[in-house]
Structure 1
Amino acid sequence: MAAHAELVCIPEDRLAAELPHADALLVWEFGTEALPGAWPEHGGPRWVHTASAGVDRLMFPALRDSDAILTNSRGVFEQPIAEYVAGQIIALAKDFAGTYDRQRDHVWRHRVTQRVWGTRAVVLGGGPIGRAVVRTLRALGIETDLVGRTRREGDPEVGTVHAFDELDGLLARADWVVCAAPLTEQTQDLFDAATFARMKRGARFVNVGRGPMVVEKDLLAALEEGQLGGAALDVFREEPLPADNPLWDAPNLLVSPHMSADTDTWLDDLAEVFADNFTRWRAGHPLRNVVDKELGYVPVADAPQAAAEEGSR
C-alpha cells in the first residue's frame, strides 16, 4: 500500500490541519470524538473508512452531507459478537458467576441451573451481526426470532424477519432479548422502563448494540425489582464505564468493556478489509460496505434489504 500512497498517521490534535489535504481517511480509533470539529469546510477526504461496524459517531452533518464515500468494516465482527452473545446466555443460564463466587469462598453448594435448549430469544437488528446471532443461538436449540425494519417472509437465512413494530409482542414471550441494532433516532432510549415492563418477567437482556439504546437507570431498576432475571452489557452510554457507576454492583449483571468483537485476529482482519477496499478505490472499482449516509448503515443490494441494519462494534 505504501508504494501507491503517502501514508500519514494523524493524531487528533493535527486532524484539522491534515484533513483538507487527504484523499482518504482510515478512522482506526473508531471511538474518537475529534472528527466533527476537524472536518474541513472545503475539500477533504473523498473516502472515509472506519474500523467498526457501527457508524453513528460519523453521522455528523458535515460528513453526512459531503460527497465523501463512507465505508465500514462489516465482515469482521459478526461471528465473534454472536459467540459472545451465546457465551453470555450460557453464563447467565448456568450461573457461572455464582459458581466463581462459591469457588472463591471455598463453598461447595449444589444447585440447579437452567437449560437453554428449548428457550426462546428475540434479536433486534436485522443486519449481519443480528443474523449471525440468530444462527448461533438456533444451533444451541434456542427458538430465535429476528426483528428488522420491515417484515419479510421466506428470508433465505432466517425465515421470517419481523417488523420493528412487532417487537413488543415478541418481548412478552422471550426468555432472552438481544440488542444488536444500530443507534438511530428510532432506537435511541428504546430499552426503557416501559420496554422492560413488556418483557416476560425474569427474562434476560444482552446488549451488543450501542449504550444509548438503553436507559441505564431503568435497566438497574428492572434488575433490582426482578423484572429482569439478568443482563449482560458490552456497551454503555459512557465509556469507559466510571468506577462509581451503580451498574458495576447491579444484581445479576455481567459487565464487559466493549470487547465482544475483539478476538486475537481482529486487527489483521480489519487491515485486510481496508486493504481490499484501498485496492478497489485506487483502481476506480466499486467499494465494499458502502454506508447509506441517510440510513446510517450499509444496505444490502442483493440480499433482503432490511438485513442491512448494522449492529455495532
Structure 2
Amino acid sequence: MPISAGQNRRAGGPIIAVLHAADRPPALADHTDGTELRFATADTLAGALPGAEALFVWDFTSDAVRTAWAAADTLRWVHTASAGVDRLVFPGLVDSDVVLTNSRGVFDTPMAEYVAGLVLALAKDLPRTLAQQARREWRHRETEQLAGARAVVVGGGPIGRAIASMLTAIGLRVELVSRRADPPVHGIDKLAGLLPDADYLVLAAPLTEQTRGLLDAAALRLLPRNARVINVGRGALVVEPDLVDALAEGRIAGAALDVFETEPLPSDSPLWTMPRVIVSPHMSGDTVGWQHNLVALFADNLARYRSGRPLRNVVDKTRGYVTTSGANP
C-alpha cells in the first residue's frame, strides 16, 4: 500500500513515537536520520502521540495504544515489532485510515526450529533425562521414534508453513490447517476430523475472533491419549483450564507451551509443576540478533514510507493478519 510522509513534521522527516518498556529498540537512531523520535512508555504514550505521523510499537505486549488512541491526532502509520496484531485491532484503529504493518518474516525460521526442538524433547523424554541427571539417577528407558508420527499444524501463514517444513524434514507426516482450504492445506473446518490421528498438535495461528478458544474441552476430547499440544501462537488460542484438566486426567500425553492467557504465567498456575509440561516464557522466535532484525525491518518500511513506496507487511485490519506476500522492493 503506497503511503508517504505528510506535512505534520519538523524539517527533514516525520515525527515517530516509539512505545517501549524497559529497553528501547537497539540502534534505532542509526536508521532514522532526519526524524524526531519520541520515546514513550505505556504511561507517557498519550503525551508523545500528538503531532506524530508514525508509531513504532516496540512493546507489543502492551495495551497502551488502545488506551492512548484519542491522542493520535495526526497518525498515519503504526508498525509493530511482532507478527501478531491482536492487541492493536481495536475499533479506533480498525475504523481509521491509519495503516498497520507487522514484523512478519522475522520469526518464521526461529519458531520452526523451536517447535522442532520441542517435538524432539517430548519424543525423546529429555525433561525426565535432565531431571534424573540432576538427581544422579541412572534409569534406562525407551523413547519414541519420530519418523512416521503425525503432526497437525494450525496456521497457514509463513510461520505455520515454516514449522510444517521443519517437522517434515525430521520425519513427521504433517497436515497443515489454515483459515481456508488451499490443497494440500486443509481449511479450519476440517480440523476436528484431523485431531483423532494427531500425535502432535501445533498451534501457530494468529489470534482472531475465529481462533480464540480454538482448543477447548471438545477439541481436546478428540485428541488421542498419546497426543502432545504445542502452542507458539497466542495463549488465548487455548482454553487454559480445559487444557489443565486434560493434562491432569491423563487424556493427553503432554504439552509444550510458549504463550499463555496471562503473561508472565502466574506463579500459582498448575502448568508450572505438571510433570508432562514444558513451560517457556514467550521466547520461541527470539534468537540472537532478533531485535536488530526487527529494527532493520522497521527502518526499511520507514524508508518506503518517506519515499511513497508500498509498505511491507500491511495488515488487513478487519481480519487481523497480512493477506498478501508483501510489497515489492
**TM-score range relative to shorter protein:** over 0.9
Unaligned runs of 5+ in 1: 154-159, 303-313
| Aligned counterpart, 2:175 | 145
Deviation at 1:3, TM superposition (A): 2.4
- 1:135–1:85: structure 2 CA closer, same or farther, 3 Å change rule? same
Give the alignment partner of residue 122 of structure 1, picking from 139, 145, 152. Answer: 152
| Aligned counterpart, 1:272 | 296
- Normalising by the residue count of structure 1, what TM-score does the alignment of the two structures yield? 0.92
Q: Distance in 2 between matches of 1:285 and 1:118?
A: 47
Q: Distance in 2 between matches of 1:26 and 1:301?
A: 21
CA contact (8 A) 2:111 2:285 kept: yes
Give the alignment partner of residue 97 of structure 1, picking from 122, 127, 137. Answer: 127
- 1:229–1:132: structure 2 CA closer, same or farther, 3 Å change rule? same
Alignment of 1:161-200 (within 5 A): 161-200=185-224
Give the alignment partner of residue 77 of structure 1, picking from 107, 118, 140. Answer: 107
Unaligned runs of 5+ in 2: 1-30
Give the alignment partner of residue 249 of structure 1, picking from 251, 265, 273. Answer: 273
SS of corresponding position for 1:58: coil
| Aligned counterpart, 1:15 | 45
Residues 1:214 and 2:244 are matched in the alignment? no
Deviations 1:267-296 (A, max 9, x none): 111011001000000000000000000110
Residues 1:282 and 2:306 are matched in the alignment? yes
SS of corresponding position for 1:171: helix
Residues 1:205 and 2:229 are matched in the alignment? yes
| Aligned counterpart, 1:230 | 254
User: Amino acid of the residue matched to residue 145 of structure 2?
Assistant: R
Q: Distance in 2 between matches of 1:112 and 1:167?
A: 31
Q: Distance in 2 between matches of 1:260 and 1:300?
A: 24
Give the alignment partner of residue 48 of structure 1, picking from 67, 74, 78. Answer: 78
Deviation at 1:40, TM superposition (A): 2.3
Deviation at 1:215, TM superposition (A): 1.2
Q: Distance in 1 between matches of 2:91 and 2:77?
A: 16
Q: Distance in 2 between matches of 1:203 and 1:102?
A: 24
Deviation at 1:189, TM superposition (A): 1.1
Q: Distance in 2 between matches of 1:141 and 1:227?
A: 25
- 1:12–1:41: structure 2 CA closer, same or farther, 3 Å change rule? closer
Q: Distance in 1 between matches of 2:34 and 2:307?
A: 11
- The percent identity for this pair of structures is 55
Deviations 1:107-161 (A, max 9, x none): 11100000111100000000010000000000001000100111112xxxxxx01
- Normalising by the residue count of structure 2, what TM-score does the alignment of the two structures yield? 0.88
User: Amino acid of the residue matched to residue 93 of structure 1?
Assistant: A
Q: Distance in 1 between matches of 2:157 and 2:279?
A: 24
SS of corresponding position for 1:39: helix
Deviation at 1:4, TM superposition (A): 2.2
CA contact (8 A) 1:280 1:286 kept: yes
| Aligned counterpart, 2:9 | none
| Aligned counterpart, 1:110 | 140
SS of corresponding position for 1:272: helix
Deviations 1:159-215 (A, max 9, x none): x01011000111111101000001111111111111110012210110001111111
Q: Distance in 1 between matches of 2:225 and 2:74?
A: 52
Residues 1:3 and 2:27 are matched in the alignment? no
CA contact (8 A) 1:192 1:214 kept: yes
| Aligned counterpart, 1:305 | none
Q: Distance in 2 between matches of 1:20 and 1:44?
A: 7
CA contact (8 A) 2:49 2:71 kept: no
User: Amino acid of the residue matched to residue 99 of structure 1?
Assistant: T
| Aligned counterpart, 1:131 | 161
SS of corresponding position for 2:197: coil
SS of corresponding position for 1:277: helix
